[in-house]
Amino acid sequence: MDIKINKRNLSESVIEEEQALVHYNKLKEKLNINFQKEIYCKLEAMKVLKEIKDKEYYKLDNYSSFDDFAKDYRLARTQTYKYLKIATAIEEGLIEEKYVVKNGINDTICLLKTKESSSLKKSNENPIKPLRFQLKKEESYSFYKKNAKLTSFLLEKIFFEEKDFLLKIIKEFETLRNKRK
């Protein structure tokens, strides 16, 4: 019997894995550097936008408002005002640039929502989500749709001031629901 032993070289596969790992780490480092550059560019854009708005430089190009100026640069209104809010906070010393670089724009905005400042405007965004439900009859739907503020007032008033009436309606609802089962 003639047995041949193949010489195996395991070191090549180990070297390839090490090279792949080194390459992967270089790519991650490159990605981090690019993100850092990007955030610094955004910080600079924030400062530029704030100065243009504060000193009304946009009027030199015959823009009637800052919003018109921002639209020409294809900046979304929300994005622009987030940038301005962050720039104002940095200028006032509420946050540092390092914080924005480390945590990003969205986390910074969340932090600023909790901080108080005279020059930072509170968002007009309603923290209470709209109530959505379906009515069974078209007539009641039309009425409540036309009178949305009345509907809101009515529901609030019943909830806060007419608990007995609300409990009576809840009991009636429960009995009807149990009968259907």
Maximum Cα–Cα distance for the chain, whole Å?
Answer: 100
Distance between CA atoms of residues 103 and 169, nearest Å:
49
The domain of 160 spans 138-180
Do 151 and 103 have their domain in common? no
Do 79 and 22 have their domain in common? yes
Do 104 and 153 have their domain in common? no
158-175 pLDDT, tens per residue? 999 999 999 999 999 999
- Mean pLDDT rounded to a whole number for the chain: 86
Under the banding of pLDDT at 50, 70 and 90, the label for residue 153 is very high
Q: How many domains does the chain have?
A: 2
89-127 pLDDT, tens per residue? 999 989 999 999 888 888 999 898 887 655 555 555 566
Do 48 and 108 have their domain in common? yes
In a domain, 68, yes or no: yes
Do 22 and 90 have their domain in common? yes
Predicted pLDDT at 128: 74
Do 90 and 146 have their domain in common? no
Beta strands in the chain (DSSP E): none
Distance between CA atoms of residues 15 and 2, nearest Å:
33
Do 102 and 55 have their domain in common? yes
Predicted pLDDT at 114: 80
Q: pTM here?
A: 0.53
Query: Is residue 149 scored above 70 in pLDDT?
Result: yes
In a domain, 39, yes or no: yes
In a domain, 171, yes or no: yes
In a domain, 152, yes or no: yes
51-93 pLDDT, tens per residue? 999 999 999 999 999 999 999 989 899 999 999 999 999 999 8
In a domain, 53, yes or no: yes
Predicted pLDDT at 181: 72
Distance between CA atoms of residues 93 and 167, nearest Å:
52
